[in-house]
Structure 1
Amino acid sequence: MTGTPTIHPHIYVSQPLIQEPGTAPHSAVLHRDTHFIPKKAIGGKGCYIFLEDGQKFLDSTGGAAVSCLGHGHEKVTKAVVDQINQFSYCHSAFFGTQVSEDLATFLVDSTGGRLSKVYVVSSGSEAMEAALKLARQYYLELPTPQPQRTRFISRVPSYHGITLGALGAGGHMIRREPFEPIIAQNTSHVSPCFAYRGKKDGESDADYVDRLAAELDAEFHRVGPDNVCAFIAEPVVGAALGAVPAVPGYFSAMKAICEKHGALFILDEVMSGMGRTGTLHAWEQENVVPDMQTIGKGLGGGYVPVSAVLIGDKIVQVLDKGTGAFRHGQTYQGHPVACAAALAVQRVIKEENLLQNVRAMGTYLGERLMKEIGDHPNVGDIRGKGLFWGIEFVKNKTTKEPFPKVGAMAFLVQETGMQPKYSISLYAGSGTVGGTTGDHVLLAPPYNVTKEEINLIVDTTGAVIRDVFSGV
């Protein structure tokens, strides 16, 4: 398959769009773009995916920062098969399973017990939906109920999931736009902690944090501080901004504002958590413990669909002393095979000391990116933590002016990388600047990546970027 695909920046794309030459598209699958049929993947091992035409593809993004152990890890595969052979499904309304108990215990212990219960579902969006509903129910079950708390505050252009509740809780304008008339209007938004774009010249980190804290406090007062259920944020912003970490002190300041107004503090670690940024939980790096935490991609490493909500004990205690029942349920919650895969992935990370490798290889990846493309005239910023890095593209490096057509350059970089000449994934994102313009790509290799593979990723990424921007 060859040919140059049309770029549709208004469509969220995270896989190659390759046109069948000389034929009309023919597939029963509703692909991400109905005009193109992607190549078929037929196998994978480590950092590589093998395609039907013989192409060996370097999966430097783990799909969407999912494949944290790469592909074909024997220990995880065996755990999944063993669980299927033992018992594959039961409804949680009738029975529990030992594997779900084991996974929950592992996750609770990993927080030092500060988050004391786990609710396992199948996707990041589902986890956020559950967190939103549990936040609301918490206020209804307090000894003195607070039913007026119906609002949430998040950041622009945050992304917290694609289902209607999660989409409404986020601030990603491009993804929200078609569905605004049917999205609940109970979430308002404040600025992200985005030093490259938001920090003023000469402003210290402390002053920047104070300004953002004042903005959040003002938003609480604008909507009524007693009306807010929770503030929601990603510790390292993923798809929406391209691996943007907060400056030191930001999250402790945000949590303090939440506590001041009696609101919950929810961290979305679906993309940045479970080891991706160098600690199992991103919040560990500043010891700012959330009231709830959503996790997903790195939880099961892509071996099965799995996500979870980790729940603080104060919420658990209120629920336990109240109705004792979370009024939310899903057919596949706590699925035994999903729990087995997630537990196997987490055991491998712990037993093979992969978090240390994430930190070491993450530092090396950042240094190599800076050396390889830091001086490129269209690379505005390189940022990240652990094995989670973003590259933002600009039209003018001095003024930070973005390219005018949202997403066009980022998706062109992604599609150029897909070509057999390069055979690398570069995860494109758009709306980096105010949600309406701006381009970035993400890199998120597996936690067991080697130095040699990092070198190949960086060298190939540099070649793709130089190719794409050579005519700009």
Structure 2
Amino acid sequence: MTASDTHSKMTSAVLHRDTHFIPQKAVGGKGCYIFLEDGTKFLDSTGGAAVSCLGHGHDQINQAIKDQMDQISYCHSAFFGTQVTEDLATFLTESTGKKLSKLFVVSSGSEAVEAALKLARQYFLELPTPQPERTRFIARLPSYHGTTLGALGVGGHVLRRQPFEPLLAKNTSHVSPCYAYRGKKENESDADYVVRLAAELDAEFQRVGPGNVCAFIAEPVVGAALGCVPAVPGYFPAMKAVCEKYGALFILDEIMSGMGRCGTLHAWEQEDVVPDIQTIGKGLGGGYAPVSGILIHDSIVQTMDKGTGQFRHGQTYQGHPISCAAALAVQRTIKEQSLLENVRKMGAYLEERLRQQFQDHPHVGDIRGKGLFWGLEFVKDRTTKEPFDPKTRLSFHIQEKGLQPDYAVSLYGCTGTVDGIRGDHVVLAPPYIVTKEEIDTLVDVLARVLADVLVELEK
């Protein structure tokens, strides 16, 4: 019996993600590494779920949190505000050139998406001539926007939705993602592909009634659902143009791809668009405290202000001072230390190493991403792009193998790449402070893990 087997048979009062397995305990962390109870020094090359953008044990962030705790840890936003919340909002709205002029702070990505959906709906009720018939959303397949019922309902990931379908609202429909590896036709140009996808979105507006749609929501770079898939040039301006044609809002979900992960603070800066509502999280606070939020276009703010002036949504930990202090310290550190430059530099090196190692691998179909946000899609056959049988659980085995002490690296494995059920990929999202040496370790270990897992699956 291995040490892992022994650990899994221990008891716990915690409802872990898998009731048959108790994970090893992390007992410390510094930089890009987590230290485990068995003495393993673990390379956190995914930042958890693309969260730990500054790594672990950052003294400056820790001190900012302690300082805020010495001042005040909590007050209810219905009664009071705090300076740190104001400072965070100023920092983030200024980072958009004040195009997005207000910040609403909550605690998780799912909460941010819920708030965005409700704000989109309320916006149409606040117009001088209200449009109460706008109750629908259009999203993409196989998107993932969160686990709460509203966020899950707007998402299009089959496996995540499946157990809860009877509980989900029926006011969301889905169109194709911008997924060039599988979506582009042979000899189709990027421009023609964009025209085709824009026509599909336009047709969906027409199908459900253009005056019934609140918003279209999409990730600038698709994270867990597809594995770091960026759009082809011109895609997002074309999608926004369709939304504007029918008076619907344009929501960009940057929970995973934003806050510097793709090389600019906001991923939309690279897409020649400005969203009406932007969701942010993960890299916002770098895991030092639970924090997320929505940034809101000034046109929506002005409409609300001239209407009731009240967003009919609120949460107990909204604008939590410690969370805001952590986020502000993380964002100031990224700016002061020019870490976005390192994201771009190390991101280019990570891409180079991945292509050197896996470009000709018989079971790596595609390598894609931006900044320090990269994905590898695995296929059984490179020519036909046939995925592995879901029963092999390839991505699960890759992730689990990486957790073993002989490898000690995080590899964020995901399924459903092709159609929400079939297909495997891994996401790599190292901290913004990552070095060339750590990237070399990541790529080399990933190659070993993949080779060893494939051999085991062939037995």
Give the Å deviation of 1:127.
Answer: 0.2
* 1:81-123 superposed Cα distances (whole Å, 9 cap, x missing partner): 1100111000000000000000000000000000000000000
Cα distance in structure 2, aligned partners of 1:2 and 1:448: 34
Please state if 1:314 is matched with 2:292: no
Aligned counterpart in structure 1 of residue 128 of structure 2, from 117, 121, 143: 143
> Who is 1:249 aligned against?
234
Q: Select between 296-305 and 453-462 the one with higher mean Cα deviation.
A: 453-462
3-state SS of paired residue (1:214): helix
Please state if 1:437 is matched with 2:429: no
Q: CA RMSD in A?
A: 1.1
> Who is 2:37 aligned against?
52
Cα distance in structure 2, aligned partners of 1:436 and 1:414: 18
Cα distance in structure 2, aligned partners of 1:175 and 1:85: 41
Cα distance in structure 2, aligned partners of 1:113 and 1:320: 16
What is the one-letter code of the residue matched to 1:20? T
Please state if 1:2 is matched with 2:25: no
> Who is 1:301 aligned against?
286
Aligned counterpart in structure 1 of residue 152 of structure 2, from 144, 164, 167: 167
Q: Select between 223-232 and 375-384 the one with higher mean Cα deviation.
A: 375-384
> Who is 1:290 aligned against?
275
Cα distance in structure 2, aligned partners of 1:407 and 1:262: 46
Q: Percent identity?
A: 74
What is the one-letter code of the residue matched to 2:88? L
Please state if 1:62 is matched with 2:47: yes
The answer to whether the 8 Å contact 1:406/1:436 transfers is no
Alignment of 1:370-409 (within 5 A): 370-405=355-390, 408-409=393-394
> Who is 2:78 aligned against?
93
List structure 1 segments (4+ residues) > 3 angstroms apart after TM superposition: none
Cα distance in structure 2, aligned partners of 1:418 and 1:396: 27
What is the one-letter code of the residue matched to 2:384? T
> Who is 2:448 aligned against?
463
> Who is 1:10 aligned against?
none
Please state if 1:417 is matched with 2:402: yes
> Who is 1:124 aligned against?
109
Cα distance in structure 1, aligned partners of 2:391 and 2:198: 29
Please state if 1:20 is matched with 2:3: no
3-state SS of paired residue (1:432): coil
The answer to whether the 8 Å contact 2:9/2:22 transfers is no
Give the Å deviation of 1:24.
Answer: 3.8
Cα distance in structure 2, aligned partners of 1:406 and 1:349: 42
Please state if 1:108 is matched with 2:79: no
What is the one-letter code of the residue matched to 2:68? Q
Distance 1:322-1:382 versus aligned 2 partners, 3 A rule = same
Give the Å deviation of 1:407.
Answer: 7.3
Aligned counterpart in structure 2 of residue 73 of structure 1, from 58, 61, 64: 58
Cα distance in structure 1, aligned partners of 2:261 and 2:202: 30
Cα distance in structure 2, aligned partners of 1:384 and 1:281: 15
Cα distance in structure 2, aligned partners of 1:469 and 1:400: 17
What is the one-letter code of the residue matched to 1:366? E
Cα distance in structure 1, aligned partners of 2:10 and 2:209: 52
3-state SS of paired residue (1:152): strand
3-state SS of paired residue (1:43): strand
What is the one-letter code of the residue matched to 1:160? H
What is the one-letter code of the residue matched to 1:141? E
Cα distance in structure 2, aligned partners of 1:443 and 1:224: 40
Aligned counterpart in structure 2 of residue 193 of structure 1, from 178, 187, 193: 178
> Who is 2:261 aligned against?
276
3-state SS of paired residue (1:201): coil
Give the Å deviation of 1:373.
Answer: 1.7
3-state SS of paired residue (1:362): helix
Cα distance in structure 1, aligned partners of 2:279 and 2:388: 33
What is the one-letter code of the residue matched to 2:189? S
The answer to whether the 8 Å contact 1:406/1:439 transfers is no
Long gaps (5+) in structure 2: none
Distance 1:78-1:119 versus aligned 2 partners, 3 A rule = same
3-state SS of paired residue (1:20): helix
Distance 1:130-1:98 versus aligned 2 partners, 3 A rule = same
* 1:14-56 superposed Cα distances (whole Å, 9 cap, x missing partner): xxxx5435x7441000000000100000000011100001011
Aligned counterpart in structure 2 of residue 349 of structure 1, from 314, 334, 348: 334
The answer to whether the 8 Å contact 1:121/1:127 transfers is yes
What is the one-letter code of the residue matched to 2:6? E
* 1:170-219 superposed Cα distances (whole Å, 9 cap, x missing partner): 00110000000000010000000000010111000000000000000000
The answer to whether the 8 Å contact 2:61/2:330 transfers is yes
What is the one-letter code of the residue matched to 1:381? D
Distance 1:407-1:222 versus aligned 2 partners, 3 A rule = farther
3-state SS of paired residue (1:330): coil
Give the Å deviation of 1:406.
Answer: 6.0
Please state if 1:35 is matched with 2:1: no
* Number of residues of Structure 1 aligned to a counterpart in Structure 2: 457
3-state SS of paired residue (1:42): strand
> Who is 1:9 aligned against?
none
3-state SS of paired residue (1:38): coil
3-state SS of paired residue (2:346): helix
Please state if 1:202 is matched with 2:187: yes
Aligned counterpart in structure 1 of residue 166 of structure 2, from 173, 176, 181: 181
Give the Å deviation of 1:467.
Answer: 1.2
Aligned counterpart in structure 2 of residue 336 of structure 1, from 321, 324, 335: 321
- TM-score under structure 2 normalisation? 0.98
Give the Å deviation of 1:384.
Answer: 0.4
Cα distance in structure 1, aligned partners of 2:306 and 2:10: 57
3-state SS of paired residue (2:191): helix
What is the one-letter code of the residue matched to 1:365? L
3-state SS of paired residue (1:180): helix
> Who is 2:246 aligned against?
261
Cα distance in structure 2, aligned partners of 1:25 and 1:131: 41
Give the Å deviation of 1:434.
Answer: 1.2
